Amino acid sequence: MAALVVQHPGMLSLLQDLGRLGVAEQGLSQGGAVDLHAACWANYLVGNIASAAVIEITLGMAQFIAVEDCTLALTGAPMQPLLDDIPMESWQCVFMRAGQTLKLGGARHGLRAYLAVQGGFLAPDVLGSCATVVRNQLGGLSHGQPLITGDRVPFAYACPDPTMLSRHRQTPSRFIPDYSQPITLRVIESYQAAAFQAAEKARFYASRYTVSQETDRMGCRLSGPAIQAEIDGIISEGIALGAIQIPPDGQPIVLLNDRQTLGGYPKLGCVARVDIARLAQAAPGTSVQFIQGDLAVLSEEWRQFSRFFGLPF
């Protein structure tokens, strides 16, 4: 069977797709690629549908060997990829021969890279998705476990398309993010924004925060000027992707794909869906600032993104 063999998984390599939607009522996390921008481009470059499974590689230092010829693409954080010790370009489709080895260095900027193969990786479907959620023990090759050395990650074999390679299919430079830059995130305020006095909100928008070391797929923890709500907490309720929680210490937490389904901290609003991909690449120490977003503008941006990649939501 066509497959990539994991020679080294690096810090963390996970099979992901668009996520496990509609399962929050069962207490399960969404999962899925946290940087949807990079994941969708990886699939697009090799001719896959957006929901095809990819490998999400955190911090790099991973290594894979091809069992069959394949066409692949690597997007996201720059990790100095080598194909049999020859530098390989990211953000474009590349032909990999059977027996060749793909080696990734450490992430220079950003956190995560996405590896797609023409035909898509294959993994068991669990509640409509193969997304790996370690905390739920769901998805991936087996019970939500990260990839380990020796794993064979099968893919639907597709004879490499020479016309795709001859067209030198690559991502236009304007769509390749610079992960070394500070981040500005647009916010859609929620009904709970009324629980924050005008002075507290003004401090929130005027301040710069720093991504802390305590950041993972559940949420991005920030450190900076504390923000206080007029209420200590709320009755636990469902948490949306990108929700900005303000816990008692006043340090914002932006909830991501593997977030818990319920929470009782007040929420100032949500980070715009189209901006979450950039936050997903924010390494500890990255500077983050928030601005108020225009709902109509942000909704149109998301519609354009969804239409281009054919997303089902």
Domain stop point among 175, 199, 233: 175
Same domain, 163 and 199: no
Range with lowest mean pLDDT among 65-79, 127-141, 228-242, 268-282? 228-242
Closest CA to 232 of 264, 199, 263: 264
Distance CA 174, CA 183 (A): 17
CATH number of the CATH domain containing 238 = 2.40.100.10
Same domain, 171 and 190: no
CA-CA-CA-CA torsion sign (221, 145, 32, 93): positive
Distance CA 109, CA 312 (A): 30
Same domain, 150 and 193: no
Same domain, 217 and 263: yes
Same domain, 138 and 197: no
Closest CA to 74 of 84, 60, 304: 60
Has residue 313 got a pLDDT over 90? no
Contact (CB, 8 A) for 298 and 273:
yes
The per-residue pLDDT for 310 is 95
């949500």: which residue's tokens? 270
Instruction: Tell me the residue type at 195.
Output: A
Has residue 166 got a pLDDT over 60? no
| pLDDT mean over 20-48 | 95
Element (H, E) at 165: helix 162-166
Same domain, 133 and 237: no
Same domain, 166 and 191: no
- Domain span holding position 300: 183-309
Distance CA 85, CA 100 (A): 10
Same domain, 89 and 207: no
Helix, strand, coil percentages in the chain from 3-state DSSP, rounded to 5: 20, 30, 50
Domain stop point among 116, 141, 175: 175
Closest CA to 270 of 255, 282, 285: 255
Closest CA to 31 of 218, 311, 263: 218
pLDDT digits (tens, 9 = 90+) for 199-249: 999 999 999 999 999 899 999 999 999 999 988 778 888 899 999 999 999
Same domain, 43 and 151: yes
| pLDDT mean over 85-109 | 96
Look up residue 97 and give its DSSP letter: -
Same domain, 108 and 140: yes
Domain stop point among 145, 175, 205: 175
pLDDT digits (tens, 9 = 90+) for 258-290: 999 998 899 999 999 999 999 999 999 999 999
pTM: 0.95
Give the chain's domain count: 2
- CA-angle at 157, arms to 152 and 158, nearest 5°: 145
| pLDDT mean over 165-186 | 88
Same domain, 144 and 263: no
Same domain, 164 and 189: no
